[in-house]
Amino acid sequence: MTEGIDITTSCGPIALRSPILAASGCFAYGQQFAAFTDLRALGGISTKGISPLPRHGNPLPRICETTGGMLNSIGLENVGVEAFLRDKLPFLRDLGVSVWVNFFGVDFETYVDCARSLGAGQGIDALEMNISCPNIKKGGIEFGTVPEVAHRLTRACVEVSRVPIIVKLSPNVSDIVAMADAVQKAGAAGVSLINTITGMAIDVRTRRPKIATRYGGLSGPAIKPIALRMVHQVARALPDLPICGMGGILSGEDALEFLMAGAHCVQVGTANFAEPGACVRITEELRGLLRALKIPSVRAAIGSLEAHAAEPEHLPQSPWSFG
């Protein structure tokens, strides 16, 4: 029995009845999973990435399994803002769970336009801004790799949105704390981390990459230690910044690790491909584990990691500053 365990939490201004959300890109628009799991038992759903106009995505093959995970290069295929607001959002709104709409653009202007349009939608609790996208007007540099660029983009999007913006950070950077600091000071309500890690797989028989675009995003259990490290680094350096952690979560114990590292909630992604009911199972496992460990609530678990005796007292300070 797990009665009496309080699993409510929040990510900044966003109240959550459970810390377990379905991750963007791994749960479509929610409707596709309705026949396989109880969507109302989730803490929330983060949608597929939405762009101002519809996108068809990358050519096939665009997904392959790897040891301990998978590579994908879907290409952010989606229905676009107008169709999402008209055809997809009403279903999500009626579920009674927290609705996070992941969004992106191809340049500064389309990011802002997308934030403005989605920010006017009824029933959206948060916009999750994916900044791991190349800026086609700036030679392909990712918005998520340069702190100053991320800061300007976040501020512009925050200014046009009536709902909180959570910035989804790329792990493909040299200083994750600098990126988190930049978007926090630009007005982000929190950060999601981590997004996928750039990787590759080769078919040795054909001597070709296993996905058509050559490189893709690695997700699944293989990236969990990296994700945990980055969540802990950001939580320790920026204790007032709400964090949604993700990366290889398969069990209630995995979720609790992220909470102890400093995440306020988590997203489950790749596990949904093999087990559509993974989020519900992980929620119940987390309840049971909290009870077994005599931790009365999710909030009590957040940031409860105890320092190892050999751990240094102070972390290096980021050279970036956004006053």
Q: What residues form the annotated binding site for FMN? A: 24, 48-49, 102, 130, 168, 194, 220, 247-248, 269-270
Burial class (CB in 10 A: 0-12, 13-18, 19+), 127: buried
**How far apart are alpha carbons 88 and 266 in whole angstroms?**
23
* Helix, strand, coil abundance in the chain, percent, nearest 5: 35, 20, 45
Residue pair 45/97 in contact by the 8 Å Cβ criterion = yes
Concerning whether 133 is annotated as a catalytic residue, the answer is yes
Name the binding residues. Answer: 24, 48-49, 72-76, 102, 130, 168, 194-196, 220, 247-248, 269-270
Please enumerate, by residue number, every residue annotated as part of a binding site for substrate: 48, 72-76, 130, 195-196
**What is the DSSP secondary-structure string of 167-187?**
EEPPS-SS-HHHHHHHHHHTT
C-alpha span between 299 and 241 (Å, rounded): 15
Please, which residues have CB within 8 angstroms of residue 11's CB and are 6 or more apart in sequence?
Answer: 126, 166, 189, 190, 242, 243, 244, 264, 265
The residue from 133, 157, 244, 279 that is catalytic is 133
- Strands (DSSP E) contained in the chain are 9-11, 14-16, 20-22, 44-46, 63-66, 69-72, 98-103, 126-130, 165-168, 190-193, 197-200, 202-203, 208-209, 215-219, 243-246, 265-268
Q: What is the DSSP letter of 224?
A: H
64 Cβ neighbours under 8 A, 6+ residues apart: 70, 71, 201, 210, 211, 216
Q: List residues with catalytic annotation.
A: 133
